[in-house]
Amino acid sequence: MQFNREQSGGNIIRSFSAGELRINDAIFTNHVIVSTDTIIENWSPEKIMNLSIADFSEVLSATPEVIVFGTGITQTFPPGALMTDILRQGVGFEVMDTGAACRTFNILAAEQRNVIAALLVR
């Protein structure tokens, strides 16, 4: 899936297909966390059903307005406790398949929103 939306400066997610994510001109084959100015490579979260707030500590330390969580090629919801814990931090938390998360990240970033995407590539 190719994305063509342009934004001024910062990280832009160019494409996603199962197993491969292109941010700017770099290709990633492992899970990543991306904000408009930072990319954290090789994010190693637990399995979706075992996720906890600890898996998002690095994301939350950046105090985003919203976290867009891409769960791979299909949308899979993490435990409700995780979602509740993140919402209690005053941070929005949206769960969607990774393709949708990439598109949403680009739109929110273009709107100058403080967004971070936590993306499962496989």
Q: Is 23 part of any domain?
A: yes
In a domain, 108, yes or no: yes
Split into its structural domains, the chain has a count of 1
Least confident of 2-16, 29-43, 89-103: 2-16
Site of tokens 């899979």: 76
Q: What pTM does this model have? A: 0.91
Q: Do the domain assignments include residue 28?
A: yes
98, part of any domain: yes
Tell me the C-alpha distance between 34 and 116, whole Å: 6
CATH of the domain at 80: 3.40.1230.10
| Cα angle 57, 72, 76; round to 5 | 80
pLDDT digits over 36-53, tens only? Answer: 999 999 899 989 999 999
**Looking up tokens 């408009």, which residue turns up?**
36
State the amino acid at position 23 in one-letter form: I
Give a yes or no: residue 3 inside a domain: no
Residues of the domain holding 76: 13-119
Cβ proximity of 85 and 53 under 8 Å: yes
